[in-house]
Amino acid sequence: MRIVLTPNSTGSGHNMRALALAREVRRRHPDAELTVLLASLQSTFAPLFAEAGVRVVDIAGEQVNHATRSNLGQDLDWAGYIGRYLAPAFVNGERLLSYLAHYRDLAPDLVVSDYNISASLAAVLGGTPHALVTERYDFTLCQVDDATLEAGGFRVDRDDLRRGRNALHTVFERIVQSAEVVLTDKPFVRELDEGTAVARALADGRAVFTGPMIREVPERTDGAAVRASLGLGPGPLMVGSVGGTSMFWENKQRVIESYIDAHRLLKRDRPDLQLVLLGREWVEAPEDVVVLTYLPDWMPLLQEADVLLSAPGWITVTEVAALRVPTVFVLSSLGEYHEVEASRRLDLLGFPSLVAPGAGEICEAVRPLLEAPAAGPTPGQLAIAPHGPGTAEAATLLVEAARRSGARTSPVPATDGGGR
């Protein structure tokens, strides 16, 4: 059985989800041939995939990290959005050809695309069996309207974006319709998802909501040791995390500042409150704030956290829901349009979900979680992670799809003396 994993290059979450699935497939099927075509955060993830027994092919040729720069300009027209952002990042002709060439060389039974549009299109064009792993029910732009984009500070060419949405919707529909199976870790919300390609696939059984496709949740470790490793004391702990992809670098800086200011304000009532800031790159912070650029395995830290402040990146959402971590989700700006739909979904599911908040608004959301922790899973956590991780179910469905496609393409053995 040969499976090729193709995580999208934007953000660390796609790599992390592909890694979790690869680990589970490897655990169940030690003889499976697993390859990842890795296009971002190679220095962090290549060793992790290799450790999981996955052959790593770096298809980017340079280190790629979308978290340390702005990725979009203010003009959302065909040239600014489609030409300079979307085509290089999502519908990339050179990358599509690269995937086609690799599929011919590797002859996979199944390509597993984690919201990698170029990889999925290459599978469709080359007739390679493929599965889609997605937290999107349609392409991102198709679930954000022009008024929201304008409120986020963009200069919108509405006719260009209408044409762009139509084209992207057609591409996404074709990928969903041709997939062996579609897996999503995002629960259906009617107000947001009605009529989308994935919603229809869920209704007719071609798509499955698995819950969180995440790494194995560790047994709770010695909390004192976890704290000591980061120089933390025994007091209450707040963790602040920024997103893995920023449309505008200044939005990331603004939200970091709001976390630090909220920590300072909250310490007036809770002097022993500690803050660990995961900033994706080094940032200046007061001496009482622990700053980390990245933490590949943050679950032991989350298990110690009394509250998490986080961007609404979906792999993070699923991990913290499965771990039952009290969380306030913070969208730094409507300009971070790629997370607007997730922010709205979280609000509809009952989570504290703030948009461009000041430090005071963050404090108001955090205080109840510090003062009266939930006695059990919240309705929102249960909606996203009803049974904890769904990685095992997802891996089973991918293996079944690989076996089905492999059986279709395997030669039929000859029979003896049967004649014509």
pLDDT surpasses 80 at 246: no
Let me know if residue 309 belongs to a domain.
Answer: yes
Contact call for residues 287 and 365 (beta carbons, < 8 A):
no
Q: What is the mean pLDDT of residues 13-39?
A: 95
Let me know if residue 364 belongs to a domain.
Answer: yes
Compare 376 and 413 and report the one with higher pLDDT. 376
The pLDDT value recorded for residue 417 is 46
377 and 394, same structural domain?
no
379 and 295, same structural domain?
yes
300 and 393, same structural domain?
no
Smallest CA-to-CA distance from 164 within 191, 179, 144 is with: 144
292 and 163, same structural domain?
no
Q: CATH code at 47?
A: 3.40.50.2000
Q: What is the mean pLDDT of residues 339-345?
A: 95
Let me know if residue 419 belongs to a domain.
Answer: no
Let me know if residue 125 belongs to a domain.
Answer: yes
Name the band, by pLDDT with cuts 50, 70 and 90, for residue 68: very low
350 and 297, same structural domain?
yes
Tokens encoding 243:
């997103």
Residue appearing with tokens 């340079």: 62
266 and 176, same structural domain?
no
Q: In what order do the strands lie in the sheet with 33-38?
A: 55-58, 33-38, 2-7, 110-114, 130-134, 181-184, 207-209
205 and 115, same structural domain?
yes
Please give the Cα distance from 119 to 10 (Å, whole number).
Answer: 13
Contact call for residues 311 and 355 (beta carbons, < 8 A):
no
pLDDT surpasses 90 at 121: yes
pLDDT surpasses 60 at 412: no
257 and 174, same structural domain?
no
Predicted confidence (pLDDT) per residue in 43-60, tens digit: 889 999 999 999 999 998
Domain of residue 371: give its range: 223-384
pLDDT surpasses 50 at 388: yes
Ordered DSSP codes for 60-125: SSS---TTSS----SEESIIIIIIIIIHHHTS-HHHHHHHHHHHHHH--SEEEEES-HHHHHHHHH
19 and 163, same structural domain?
yes
Let me know if residue 139 belongs to a domain.
Answer: yes
Predicted confidence (pLDDT) per residue in 144-185, tens digit: 999 999 999 999 999 999 999 999 999 999 999 999 999 999
pLDDT surpasses 50 at 413: no
Q: In what order do the strands lie in the sheet with 353-355?
A: 289-292, 274-278, 237-241, 307-310, 327-331, 353-355
Let me know if residue 413 belongs to a domain.
Answer: no
Let me know if residue 420 belongs to a domain.
Answer: no
Strand 2-7 relative to strand 110-114, pairing: parallel
Q: What is the mean pLDDT of residues 12-29?
A: 94
Element (H, E) at 200: helix 197-204
Smallest CA-to-CA distance from 135 within 242, 11, 282 is with: 11
What is the phi-psi region of residue 274: left when phi exceeds 0, alpha when psi lies from -120 to 50, beta otherwise? Answer: beta
123 and 14, same structural domain?
yes
400 and 298, same structural domain?
no
Smallest CA-to-CA distance from 272 within 318, 227, 226, 316 is with: 227
Let me know if residue 103 belongs to a domain.
Answer: yes
Predicted confidence (pLDDT) per residue in 83-109, tens digit: 998 998 899 999 999 999 999 999 999
169 and 65, same structural domain?
yes
Total number of domains constituting the chain: 2
Compare 78 and 412 and report the one with higher pLDDT. 78
User: pTM, whole model, 2 decimals?
Assistant: 0.89
Please give the Cα distance from 17 to 391 (Å, whole number).
Answer: 9
Contact call for residues 38 and 65 (beta carbons, < 8 A):
no
Q: What is the mean pLDDT of residues 358-367?
A: 96
